[in-house]
Protein backbone atom coordinates (compact mmCIF):
# COMPACT_ATOMS: atom_id res chain seq x y z
CA UNK A 1 0.00 0.00 0.00
CA UNK A 2 1.12 3.55 -0.67
CA UNK A 3 -0.46 6.98 -0.41
CA UNK A 4 -0.83 9.73 -3.01
CA UNK A 5 -0.74 12.32 -0.23
CA UNK A 6 1.59 12.82 2.71
CA UNK A 7 0.95 10.75 5.81
CA UNK A 8 1.87 11.00 9.52
CA UNK A 9 4.86 9.10 10.87
CA UNK A 10 4.05 5.40 11.39
CA UNK A 11 0.68 5.80 9.63
CA UNK A 12 1.39 2.97 7.17
CA UNK A 13 2.60 0.70 9.98
CA UNK A 14 -0.59 1.28 11.98
CA UNK A 15 -2.84 0.70 8.97
CA UNK A 16 -1.04 -2.49 7.99
CA UNK A 17 -1.38 -3.76 11.58
CA UNK A 18 -5.13 -3.11 11.41
CA UNK A 19 -5.32 -4.94 8.09
CA UNK A 20 -3.66 -7.99 9.65
CA UNK A 21 -6.09 -7.95 12.61
CA UNK A 22 -9.06 -7.76 10.25
CA UNK A 23 -7.90 -10.64 8.06
CA UNK A 24 -7.27 -12.81 11.12
CA UNK A 25 -10.84 -12.33 12.35
CA UNK A 26 -12.80 -12.89 9.13
CA UNK A 27 -13.64 -16.42 7.94
CA UNK A 28 -10.68 -18.01 6.17
CA UNK A 29 -12.49 -18.31 2.83
CA UNK A 30 -13.94 -15.18 1.26
CA UNK A 31 -17.62 -15.07 0.33
CA UNK A 32 -16.86 -14.06 -3.23
CA UNK A 33 -14.02 -13.46 -5.68
CA UNK A 34 -14.23 -10.80 -8.38
CA UNK A 35 -12.26 -10.45 -11.60
CA UNK A 36 -12.86 -6.91 -12.80
CA UNK A 37 -11.75 -5.27 -16.03
CA UNK A 38 -10.56 -1.66 -16.10
CA UNK A 39 -13.34 0.66 -14.93
CA UNK A 40 -15.59 -2.07 -13.50
CA UNK A 41 -14.91 -1.53 -9.78
CA UNK A 42 -16.59 1.90 -9.44
CA UNK A 43 -19.73 0.39 -11.03
CA UNK A 44 -20.16 -2.36 -8.42
CA UNK A 45 -22.91 -2.26 -5.78
CA UNK A 46 -20.75 -2.39 -2.65
CA UNK A 47 -23.46 -1.85 0.00
CA UNK A 48 -23.14 -5.43 1.26
CA UNK A 49 -19.31 -5.49 1.06
CA UNK A 50 -17.72 -5.62 4.52
CA UNK A 51 -14.07 -6.26 3.66
CA UNK A 52 -12.16 -6.50 0.38
CA UNK A 53 -8.67 -7.86 -0.21
CA UNK A 54 -6.76 -7.21 -3.42
CA UNK A 55 -5.24 -10.36 -4.89
CA UNK A 56 -4.08 -8.90 -8.21
CA UNK A 57 -3.59 -5.39 -9.58
CA UNK A 58 -3.91 -1.95 -8.00
CA UNK A 59 -7.06 -0.26 -6.67
CA UNK A 60 -7.58 2.58 -4.26
CA UNK A 61 -9.67 5.22 -2.55
CA UNK A 62 -10.43 8.68 -3.89
CA UNK A 63 -12.55 11.72 -3.19
CA UNK A 64 -13.92 12.54 -6.62
CA UNK A 65 -10.85 12.64 -8.87
CA UNK A 66 -8.43 13.21 -5.98
CA UNK A 67 -6.72 9.93 -5.15
CA UNK A 68 -5.75 9.30 -1.53
CA UNK A 69 -4.16 5.87 -1.40
CA UNK A 70 -3.59 2.71 -3.41
CA UNK A 71 -3.99 -0.90 -2.34
CA UNK A 72 -1.82 -3.63 -3.79
CA UNK A 73 -2.00 -7.40 -3.72
CA UNK A 74 -2.55 -8.58 -0.14
CA UNK A 75 -3.92 -5.26 1.13
CA UNK A 76 -7.45 -5.06 2.51
CA UNK A 77 -9.92 -2.29 3.28
CA UNK A 78 -13.51 -1.71 4.28
CA UNK A 79 -15.58 -2.60 1.22
CA UNK A 80 -18.41 -0.07 1.29
CA UNK A 81 -17.02 3.47 1.34
CA UNK A 82 -20.27 5.40 1.68
CA UNK A 83 -21.21 8.29 -0.58
CA UNK A 84 -18.28 10.66 -0.08
CA UNK A 85 -15.40 8.34 -0.99
CA UNK A 86 -15.15 6.23 -4.11
CA UNK A 87 -13.13 3.31 -5.46
CA UNK A 88 -10.82 3.59 -8.48
CA UNK A 89 -8.68 0.97 -10.19
CA UNK A 90 -5.64 0.78 -12.42
CA UNK A 91 -6.21 -1.84 -15.09
CA UNK A 92 -7.71 -5.27 -14.45
CA UNK A 93 -7.88 -6.40 -10.83
CA UNK A 94 -8.90 -9.41 -8.77
CA UNK A 95 -10.25 -9.19 -5.22
CA UNK A 96 -11.75 -11.27 -2.43
CA UNK A 97 -14.91 -9.96 -0.78
CA UNK A 98 -16.46 -10.76 2.59
CA UNK A 99 -20.11 -9.75 3.09
CA UNK A 100 -21.54 -8.23 6.27
CA UNK A 101 -23.80 -11.21 7.19
CA UNK A 102 -20.81 -13.57 7.34
CA UNK A 103 -18.99 -11.50 9.99
CA UNK A 104 -19.55 -11.70 13.78
CA UNK A 105 -21.50 -8.71 15.11
CA UNK A 106 -18.75 -7.91 17.61
CA UNK A 107 -16.25 -7.56 14.76
CA UNK A 108 -18.18 -4.87 12.87
CA UNK A 109 -17.33 -1.80 15.02
CA UNK A 110 -13.60 -2.56 15.04
CA UNK A 111 -13.50 -2.96 11.26
CA UNK A 112 -15.40 0.26 10.58
CA UNK A 113 -13.71 2.49 13.13
CA UNK A 114 -10.21 1.24 12.31
CA UNK A 115 -10.33 2.18 8.64
CA UNK A 116 -12.35 5.35 9.17
CA UNK A 117 -9.92 6.57 11.85
CA UNK A 118 -7.01 5.93 9.48
CA UNK A 119 -8.64 8.00 6.74
CA UNK A 120 -9.48 10.82 9.13
CA UNK A 121 -5.88 10.90 10.36
CA UNK A 122 -4.63 11.05 6.77
CA UNK A 123 -7.02 13.85 5.78
CA UNK A 124 -6.43 15.83 8.97
CA UNK A 125 -2.64 15.63 8.54
CA UNK A 126 -2.84 16.93 4.98
CA UNK A 127 -5.26 19.72 5.89
CA UNK A 128 -2.53 21.15 8.13
CA UNK A 129 0.17 21.07 5.44
CA UNK A 130 0.95 23.69 2.79
CA UNK A 131 -0.07 22.44 -0.62
CA UNK A 132 2.68 21.15 -2.91
CA UNK A 133 2.19 20.83 -6.65
CA UNK A 134 0.33 17.55 -7.05
CA UNK A 135 2.49 14.75 -8.48
CA UNK A 136 1.16 12.52 -11.22
CA UNK A 137 1.21 8.81 -10.42
CA UNK A 138 1.58 6.55 -13.43
CA UNK A 139 1.40 2.77 -13.59
CA UNK A 140 3.36 0.58 -15.99
CA UNK A 141 3.21 -3.10 -16.85
CA UNK A 142 6.24 -5.22 -17.69
CA UNK A 143 7.70 -4.11 -21.02
CA UNK A 144 6.09 -0.65 -21.01
CA UNK A 145 8.44 2.18 -21.97
CA UNK A 146 8.70 4.76 -19.19
CA UNK A 147 11.33 6.89 -20.96
CA UNK A 148 12.22 6.57 -24.65
CA UNK A 149 15.71 7.15 -26.00
CA UNK A 150 15.96 10.21 -28.27
CA UNK A 151 12.82 11.96 -27.05
CA UNK A 152 12.85 15.48 -25.55
CA UNK A 153 13.44 15.47 -21.78
CA UNK A 154 10.66 17.60 -20.32
CA UNK A 155 10.00 15.65 -17.11
CA UNK A 156 11.46 13.20 -14.61
CA UNK A 157 10.04 10.04 -13.07
CA UNK A 158 10.62 8.83 -9.54
CA UNK A 159 10.28 5.07 -9.33
CA UNK A 160 8.29 4.31 -6.18
CA UNK A 161 7.49 0.66 -6.81
CA UNK A 162 9.11 -2.05 -8.90
CA UNK A 163 12.23 -1.93 -11.07
CA UNK A 164 13.11 -0.98 -14.64
CA UNK A 165 15.79 -1.72 -17.21
CA UNK A 166 17.99 1.07 -18.58
CA UNK A 167 18.66 0.35 -22.27
CA UNK A 168 20.69 2.15 -24.96
CA UNK A 169 20.87 0.94 -28.56
CA UNK A 170 19.16 -2.32 -27.44
CA UNK A 171 21.94 -2.96 -24.90
CA UNK A 172 21.00 -3.16 -21.23
CA UNK A 173 23.09 -0.73 -19.18
CA UNK A 174 21.67 -1.37 -15.73
CA UNK A 175 18.64 -1.63 -13.46
CA UNK A 176 16.72 1.27 -11.91
CA UNK A 177 15.25 0.48 -8.49
CA UNK A 178 12.71 1.97 -6.12
CA UNK A 179 13.53 5.51 -5.02
CA UNK A 180 15.61 6.39 -8.10
CA UNK A 181 14.93 9.52 -10.15
CA UNK A 182 14.80 8.68 -13.86
CA UNK A 183 15.78 11.10 -16.60
CA UNK A 184 17.01 13.84 -14.29
CA UNK A 185 20.24 14.78 -16.05
CA UNK A 186 18.68 15.13 -19.49
CA UNK A 187 15.87 17.29 -18.13
CA UNK A 188 18.24 19.61 -16.26
CA UNK A 189 20.48 19.95 -19.33
CA UNK A 190 17.49 20.37 -21.69
CA UNK A 191 18.74 17.57 -23.95
CA UNK A 192 17.12 14.49 -25.43
CA UNK A 193 16.97 11.18 -23.61
CA UNK A 194 20.24 9.26 -23.86
CA UNK A 195 18.67 5.90 -22.96
CA UNK A 196 15.34 4.16 -22.64
CA UNK A 197 13.86 3.01 -19.35
CA UNK A 198 11.60 -0.04 -19.63
CA UNK A 199 9.46 -1.52 -16.84
CA UNK A 200 10.81 -4.86 -15.62
CA UNK A 201 7.57 -6.12 -14.08
CA UNK A 202 4.74 -3.92 -12.80
CA UNK A 203 5.98 -0.44 -11.81
CA UNK A 204 4.59 2.71 -10.26
CA UNK A 205 6.28 6.06 -10.84
CA UNK A 206 5.62 9.72 -10.12
CA UNK A 207 5.90 11.97 -13.15
CA UNK A 208 7.03 15.55 -12.49
CA UNK A 209 7.35 18.12 -15.26
CA UNK A 210 10.22 20.63 -15.33
CA UNK A 211 7.99 23.48 -14.09
CA UNK A 212 6.60 21.41 -11.23
CA UNK A 213 10.09 20.21 -10.37
CA UNK A 214 11.22 23.83 -9.99
CA UNK A 215 8.21 24.55 -7.76
CA UNK A 216 8.94 21.51 -5.61
CA UNK A 217 12.55 22.59 -5.15
CA UNK A 218 11.36 26.05 -4.10
CA UNK A 219 8.76 24.80 -1.61
CA UNK A 220 10.63 21.76 -0.30
CA UNK A 221 14.41 22.44 -0.06
CA UNK A 222 15.05 18.88 1.18
CA UNK A 223 14.48 17.74 -2.40
CA UNK A 224 17.69 19.52 -3.41
CA UNK A 225 19.68 17.17 -1.19
CA UNK A 226 17.73 14.16 -2.44
CA UNK A 227 18.39 15.20 -6.03
CA UNK A 228 22.12 15.65 -5.39
CA UNK A 229 22.30 12.24 -3.68
CA UNK A 230 20.59 10.59 -6.65
CA UNK A 231 23.00 12.20 -9.12
CA UNK A 232 26.00 11.20 -6.99
CA UNK A 233 24.79 7.60 -6.87
CA UNK A 234 24.33 7.53 -10.64
CA UNK A 235 27.84 8.91 -11.17
CA UNK A 236 29.27 6.33 -8.74
CA UNK A 237 27.56 3.46 -10.59
CA UNK A 238 28.92 4.78 -13.89
CA UNK A 239 32.43 4.93 -12.44
CA UNK A 240 32.11 1.36 -11.18
CA UNK A 241 31.05 0.16 -14.64
CA UNK A 242 34.03 1.94 -16.22
CA UNK A 243 36.41 0.33 -13.70
CA UNK A 244 34.89 -3.07 -14.36
CA UNK A 245 35.31 -2.59 -18.09
CA UNK A 246 39.03 -1.93 -17.59
Whether residue 99 has pLDDT greater than 70: yes
> Are 60 and 102 within one domain?
yes
Which of these, 100, 218, 189, 203, lies nearest to 161 by C-alpha position? 203
Rounded to whole angstroms, the Cα distance separating 60 from 38 reads: 13
Whether residue 134 has pLDDT greater than 60: no
Mean pLDDT rounded to a whole number for the chain: 85
Q: Are 178 and 159 in contact (CB under 8 A)?
A: yes
Q: What is the CATH number of the domain that holds 62?
A: 2.60.120
Whether residue 101 has pLDDT greater than 80: yes
- Which of 127, 158, 191 marks a domain boundary? 127
pLDDT of residue 228: 63
**Of the candidate ranges 1-10, 30-39, 72-81, the one whose mean pLDDT is the lowest:** 1-10
Range of the domain at 112: 2-127
pLDDT of residue 85: 92
Rounded to whole angstroms, the Cα distance separating 60 from 67 reads: 7
pLDDT tier, 210 (very low <50, low <70, confident <90, very high otherwise): confident
pLDDT of residue 46: 94
> Are 12 and 123 within one domain?
yes
pLDDT tier, 233 (very low <50, low <70, confident <90, very high otherwise): low
pLDDT tier, 105 (very low <50, low <70, confident <90, very high otherwise): confident
Burial class for 71, CB neighbours closer than 10 Å (0-12, 13-18, 19+): buried
CB neighbourhood size of 112 (10 A) = 13
Amino acid sequence: MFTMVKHPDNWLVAVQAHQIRCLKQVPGAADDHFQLSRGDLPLQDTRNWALVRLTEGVAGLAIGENRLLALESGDCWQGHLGTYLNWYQEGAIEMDVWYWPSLPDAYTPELITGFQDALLALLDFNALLPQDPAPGFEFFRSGDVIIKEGEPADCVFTLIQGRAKVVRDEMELGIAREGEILGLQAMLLHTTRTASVIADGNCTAVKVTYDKFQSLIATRPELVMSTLETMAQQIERMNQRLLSAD
